[in-house]
Amino acid sequence: MAPKTLRSLLAQPSSKLGPHHHHHHHQSISISQSISTVRSAISHWDPHSSDSLSPSFLQATSHLHSHLLHLSASHASHHHTSHELVTIHTLLESAMQHLKESLKYHLFHISSSLDSHSDNIKAACSIAETMLSTGYVEECVSTYQSMRQSTLKSQMVRLGFDQSAHQPKFVRKLRWETLDNQIKSWRDMAPVVVQSLCSDEHRLCHQIFAASPESVPDLIFSTITCDVTLSFLTFPETVAVNLKPSPEKLFRLLDMYVVLSDLLPDIESIFGSEPASSVRSQVISSLGKLSKAIRAVISEFELAIQKDPLNSSGVPGGAIHPLTRYVMNYLAYLSDFEHSLQEILVDLPPNCNSSFFNLPNLQDESILSVTIAWILFVLLCKIDSKAETYSDVALSYLFLANNLQYIIGKVESCQLRKILGDEWVNEHNMKARRFVEGHVRSGWAHMSEMLSVENENGDVERLRMFLLAFDMAMKERKDWVIADVAMRHEVKLMVEAMLVPAYRRWYSSHKDFVSVRFSPENIKKKVERFYEDSNLSSGYGSC
């Protein structure tokens, strides 16, 4: 900071300047008295005590400065005047040196809580006002800046801030696990740095230089804080620009975005003056770069779903596919960032084509709901293709039903329900029910047909074939999975409704002519036990 800049600012008229400059008081005190007061104070000076800063001493220094200016302006050349000029100047230099040391001491001992009534702050205010009003602008400001800049940096180091570790070349070389820890550390530090350290520094600066024009403390504050704060606040942008997009990195980027967004009002308030505008600009830039990186990661996430290989489709028993669990857990976590994502997703994902999925009044939907619906559509397409790899049609339907039911359950258990809306949930509930009906129809309908043949010839053979098919189905499907309890109960009722009435009709017509081993109640109990005791009930869980 150029001293002349501050000098020119301090030269502006201000009603706040010079509370010690009461000319009528100066006129009642002789120069010799002021010289004696200053000399006495210097000889007993204790930089660790505010007692040295007596009103009489501060008034005396002001008086000497005024008299020095008067002598200099009078252009007097006789020996006595020259000697007096040298004496006063030397004494003022000594007084200012002592004030400078006291200023260092009191600034060093100002508490981070910044109690505005503390003795240290009061002393620092008096010293700064005196030094500025007597023309020692550079000495006062450079001392203040040096001390407070050192204090701020040491406070940030204690928080864990390492300025060298935030350099782009360093960030690019880090393994993700290490960078992940650094991001978490930055996320936790940021509110403290802005809302505590910088806010306290801003308040202190305006307290110490309260007697100066408003632009003076603003300029001094920006010199103290801007460099180190900019270095700290550029970290999110450095990460966003140098990070290779991959799905697991999304939530750390979102963490930083949320922190910066939440801190923006504080930053605009604390760094609201023109000298500190670079800090506000940096935060806006970082938010923009983070938004771009987050959109790239979401596109990468969609691409990862599409690229999931078909050879990973062999899920035993038609259970919930790991891809389904991964995507839904990911989206559920993502939905917690709903507000931020609405700001970030200013453009649809590049591959999004709304004609591929049914959302009524799509143009009225939010960017986030459209994006989430598209990702779920991509997932369901992938699940459809995996279902085709099952050779058993009933198992294929069961796989589709299990996975869609899990997706719906996840949507209904978190913010996704609010984002996607009732229409999406109702539509996919109907689709899940169709999958369940397809599973029951393809798996059990042929057995019901065995008993509905009206031709009485071969009654015993038809019964034998039914029981054989029924027992074989029980054995072959014992490892099939229905993870959702409600869906399992629904399937059981549908199978009972398909088999038991048909068997009862056949039983009523033939029990008097044919030896029948099982009653309709026996068949019903077998179905009930099958859906209660097998993997269909224990399954793979639904978490």
Confidence of residue 52 (pLDDT cuts 50, 70, 90): low
Q: What is the pLDDT of residue 353?
A: 47
How would residue 110 be classed by pLDDT, with cut points 50, 70 and 90?
A: confident
As a whole number, the mean pLDDT across the chain is 84
Residue 364 confidence class, pLDDT cut points 50, 70, 90: low
- Tokens coding 447: 């057995």
Cα(433)–Cα(328) distance, rounded to whole angstroms? 20
pLDDT at 135: 86
Phi first, then psi: what are they for 125, rounded to 5°?
A: -60, -45
End-to-end Cα, the chain, rounded Å: 61
Mean pLDDT of 203-229: 92
Q: Is the pTM of this model over 0.85?
A: no
Q: Rounded to whole angstroms, how far apart are CA atoms 133 and 130?
A: 5
| Model pLDDT for residues 473-511, shown as the tens digit of each residue | 999 998 999 989 999 999 999 999 999 998 898 888 877
Q: Where are the beta strands (DSSP E) in 193-350?
A: none
CA dihedral 322, 491, 532, 543 (to 10 degrees): 30
Q: In whole angstroms, what is the distance from residue 397 CA to residue 439 CA?
A: 5
Per-residue pLDDT tens digits for 371-380: 999 999 999 9
Q: What percentage of the chain reaches a pLDDT higher than 90?
A: 52
pLDDT tens digit sequence for 81-105: 677 778 778 888 888 888 888 899 8
The pLDDT value recorded for residue 536 is 59
Burial of 183 (0-12, 13-18, 19+ CB in 10 A): buried
